[in-house]
Structure 1
């Protein structure tokens, strides 16, 4: 049961004048926002935990695509939409990808956090996931049953991945690759399945270097990481928009995940060279000044 009647009550509770606000909330469960958040957390925080959740997100994408294709249930009719959103008409409707992804990413981060036992932190994460999920119903692109199943599936997936990976990111990406191959067979070659395969490969090839990455030394270096890393991601996304070949897309997606993991080394080495150059310049000036 997808709770069609209950979904209509949720949609009627929000008028079209709040559409921009609802869209902003729903974007917090989209691929771009989630990967951006995970990239920043990787550069600025606990890299092992963030990398692990990135592997969860990619593995989860493979599972979600396979489940959606297996059920092949349509989205609500077009007249149910709060506002016209052409991009949201594509694909199957059950279960909700945004509800699932938000649960996997935010729930995955919470499950590994030291604050997981703090009631208000748990309430905040749950509220965020529920808000993202309900925004899909308000927009009219999913039924209430779609998002409920998406959240429940996400919780079960996080629990399973926590047990399978034992906190090792490389294992998470290996699981993602194992899941992506049958998803590719079930759903056929599409941009999303290629993303799952390419992302899993990119993470698997670079995850072993995570523990050897240089530690963040200053806020300035953190800003540099965000600037350099973000610029690289934008370049890769622009390249993705003009590439049609399936193999090339897979390579780009692999490069995108790998770039997130290697950019701390790039920025660290550049910073070391700048420091060394500054020290050499000071030393060379001392005899003249004396």
Structure 2
């Protein structure tokens, strides 16, 4: 079922000389990279649609963590790893493959680009690259990433139907999935992240439609720089916080910052930038 022999074929095609490249590709499906991407899209694009995909990502994180833990299937042995790499959790299904579909595929779906071959090809390429990088690194079998990707498609379809385009509903589902994930995984780091982010989203989603529009591309650039800097600072603070309740509060604050950063930058830069642009 996990296609162990077929996985070896993929691993044997890439030598350790290219390990850094493979690791860089696999980061495109990491929670941190996906969070930064969605934050930038929220600040500079359609806020309601981006917030909806953020809720999908948070809900998916809780779902896949609980599923992996309940199934309890191990990763491949470290002897097949392409390079020394720190990985946590279980091996089936692949969380990176699942998350890539939920975020990249979710963006295509929520932005109504399902009939756009360029958008589909772009999202599909990213998902395939991330998924195969996990196999090449040796941290998943081919079957793990295939099942993870299929589950991601089903999950996006389900979230589309349940949320009906409302981020508040998406974050409600995320909270409902994060609570059991925290229990099942014994408060694993990413499960705590899912719970805190879901709470932050629930507390702030009602403000999304009231946020000010960007006045100019320059204001958008300032928003990305300021907003990104605070996200980095919060991630640094995370490394010194050990108590689970404080981590939940920190992750809630992280999502709240993503939502409220446009209002802060608008207030500070109101006398500097030009007329507002239309949010698409």
DSSP-derived class of the 2:100 partner: helix
Match of 1:74 in 2: 74
The equivalent position to 1:215 in structure 2, one of 213, 219, 237, is 213
**Residues of 1 paired with 2:83 and 2:188: CA distance?**
27
Instruction: Map 1:19-98 onto structure 2 (within 5 A).
Output: 19-85=19-85, 87-88=86-87, 90-98=88-96
Q: Note the alpha carbon deviations across 1:11-51, whole angstroms, 9 max, x for none.
A: 00111111111111100000111001000000010111110
Higher percent of residues as helix: 1
Query: Please, what is the CA RMSD of the aligned residues?
Result: 1.3
Instruction: Map 1:189-204 onto structure 2 (within 5 A).
Output: 189-204=187-202
Match of 1:249 in 2: 247
Match of 1:17 in 2: 17
Instruction: Map 1:104-119 onto structure 2 (within 5 A).
Output: 104-119=102-117
Match of 2:177 in 1: 179
**Residues of 1 paired with 2:27 and 2:265: CA distance?**
29
State the number of aligned residues.
274
Q: Note the alpha carbon deviations across 1:166-219, whole angstroms, 9 max, x for none.
A: 000011001101111122222222212111111000000001100000011101
TM-score by length of 2: 0.95
Match of 1:130 in 2: 128
**Residues of 2 paired with 1:73 and 1:195: CA distance?**
23
Match of 1:188 in 2: 186
Match of 1:286 in 2: none
DSSP-derived class of the 1:50 partner: helix
**Residues of 2 paired with 1:227 and 1:127: CA distance?**
28
Instruction: Map 1:137-176 onto structure 2 (within 5 A).
Output: 137-176=135-174
**Residues of 1 paired with 2:185 and 2:194: CA distance?**
12
Runs of 4+ in 1 over 3 A off after TM superposition: none
**Residues of 2 paired with 1:215 and 1:116: CA distance?**
27
Offset at 1:123?
1.6
Match of 2:276 in 1: none
**Residues of 2 paired with 1:34 and 1:204: CA distance?**
19
DSSP-derived class of the 1:202 partner: helix
Match of 2:235 in 1: 237
Match of 2:224 in 1: 226
Who wins on radius of gyration, i.e. which is larger? Answer: 1
**Residues of 2 paired with 1:55 and 1:118: CA distance?**
23
